[in-house]
Structure formats: C-alpha cells, structure tokens
Amino acid sequence: MSKLPLERILQSQGFGTRKACRQLIDGGEVAIAGETVSGHRAVFETSGLEFTVFDEAWVYREHVYIALHKPANFECSRKPSHHPGVLSLLPEQFTWRDVQPVGRLDHDTTGLLLMSDDGAFIHAQSSPKRHIPKVYVATTHEPVTPALVDLLLAGVQLHDEPAPLAALTCRQIATHQLEIVLEQGKYHQVKRMLAAAGNHCSALQRSAIGALTLEALALDAGTWCYLDEAQLALLMPDPERVRPPAT
C-alpha cells in the first residue's frame, strides 16, 4: 500500500510532467469517485485507485502489461524510420510512461506482441534462458511438403549461426501454410529457416507466446488489452523444459 500526491499519481500514469499534471488538476479535469479534485497536493491510496481525466476512466497501475495484435507495416521501435511505430496504436500516456515492445516483430509480421514498462518483465520475457515457446503461422511461396517439415524439425544451418537451428514442433496446416514453434528468437528466424530449407516466407503471424494465444485474447488487428494475472501466468516457461539436467 502506498499513498501519493495526486500530481505524482498522474505523472506516474503517463499524463505528462508534474507541472502539466498540476495544471490538469487545478483546471478541474481530474475526478475521483465522481468528485472533481480541487488541489494537486491531495494524497490518495494508489492501490485500486480509479480516476477520470477529461471524463475518461483510468485505474492506477504500478506497471502495465499489454497484449497488442500487431498489424502489418508497423515497426517495433520507439524511433521508427520507415513505418509508423507500434506505440502509435496505444494511448499517448503509454509513451510518457516508457512502455516498450517485448522483443520485435518485423514490420510486415503480424500477431501477438507484448508491451510493458516493467524492465524486469521485459528482460525475463526476452531471455533465451527462459525457454518460452513462440508459435508462428507462416504462409509459404512454394507448397509445404513433408520433406520441408522434416528438415525444419531436424535443423537448418543459418549464416553466422554456430549450429543448426531446429523447430520445437512443426506441422503443415494448409497447402501453403505451416505452424512452427521456436524458442530461440533469432533475427528473422522463421524467414531465414524457411529460406535455408528451400522455400520462401510470404506472410508471417505470431499466434502465441507460451500458453497465451491470440485467439483466446480475441483481439482484432491494431487493438490491444491489459493482461491480468491469470494471462501473465500463461507466459511462464514450462518447468519441464527448463529443469537442469541430472548429474
């Protein structure tokens, strides 16, 4: 439990500098429990605090954990160069509170993207030591064959990689489509693996991270949601996969 002045609460939630937050409060734009707050030095308990700014409802969150259904032609960068950044799909407050993508999807890759302002969460989710599987649906230029699936499961050699990279699982789901599960997270990995196996990736979507699926979230392209504790638990690694080897 913690109590903070309202100006600091608003600042922590991404409503601008402390001066800007004071101006919002003193201008009568902030209400709690339906009552306009008249002084920026008023102190409130942050846990479960609900408030409105410009009549828009908010709930205090120490950190935000977000799932976004990334559409094509958006960059996973705070400083995009050739396409709009994914942060432009979120409320402006999230930029102020330093929300960042967890890892990256190519600008033309769609699907499930996690975002947060919790550095420890971002680091943990990005670490290859966590062995968190990521599920992709790849559309291929040439038809999918059993030989292609077998090769991706056996492992293909990529340039600048010391050893072949293999899919955890791989299965054909249509004549020109396969589902491939990886845990390494290398640069352009799915596309490069398909190229090394003699095919070409013409479209790619990430459909799941761990046990959290895009289908269960029911997000349309370009929309997002907060993740609750139960959904965050689905991102935990499988203990069977990270158990240390017997000695």
Confidence at residue 151, expressed as pLDDT on a 0 to 100 scale: 97
Mean pLDDT of the region 120-130: 87
Fold entry, domain 133-209:
Alpha-Beta Plaits (3.30.70)
CATH 3.30.70.1560 residue window(s) in the chain: 133-209
d(CA 145, CA 225): 37
Give the confidence band of 241 by pLDDT, cuts at 50, 70, 90: very low
| Residue 242 scores a pLDDT above 90 | no
Q: To which H or E segment does residue 96 belong?
A: helix 92-96
151 CB-side CA count, 13 A:
16
Contact 116, 66 (CB under 8 A): yes
The C-alpha torsion from 93 through 96 and 99 to 101, rounded to 10°, is 100
d(CA 223, CA 215): 13
Catalytic residue among 106, 108, 118, 238: 106
Q: Output the pTM of the full model.
A: 0.89
Cα–chain center distance at 72: 15
Confidence at residue 44, expressed as pLDDT on a 0 to 100 scale: 94
Of residues 82 and 200, the one with the higher pLDDT is 200
Give the confidence band of 1 by pLDDT, cuts at 50, 70, 90: low
Q: Which residues, 6 or more positions from 14, have their beta carbon under 8 angstroms from its beta carbon?
A: 91, 92, 93, 94, 95, 96, 97
pLDDT in tens, 41-94: 889 999 999 999 999 999 999 999 999 999 999 999 877 788 999 999 999 999
Contact 208, 216 (CB under 8 A): no
Q: Where are the beta strands (DSSP E) in the chain?
A: 3-5, 30-32, 35-36, 43-45, 50-53, 56-59, 65-70, 100-101, 110-116, 134-140, 169-174, 177-182, 201-209, 212-213, 224-226
Mean pLDDT of the region 105-119: 95
pLDDT in tens, 133-169: 999 999 999 999 999 999 999 999 998 888 999 999 9
Of residues 246 and 115, the one with the higher pLDDT is 115
Give the confidence band of 247 by pLDDT, cuts at 50, 70, 90: very low
CATH 3.10.290.10 residue window(s) in the chain: 3-59
CATH number of 65-128+212-236: 3.30.70.580
Mean pLDDT of the chain: 91
Superfamily of domain covering 3-59: RNA-binding S4 domain (3.10.290.10)
Confidence at residue 239, expressed as pLDDT on a 0 to 100 scale: 52
Residue 233's CB is within 10 A of a number of other CB atoms, namely: 12
Mean pLDDT of the region 213-225: 97
Check if 106 is active-site. Answer: yes
Q: Which residues, 6 or more positions from 123, have their beta carbon under 8 angstroms from its beta carbon?
A: none
Of the candidates 58, 74, 14, 69, the residue with the CA atom closest to the CA atom of residue 224: 69
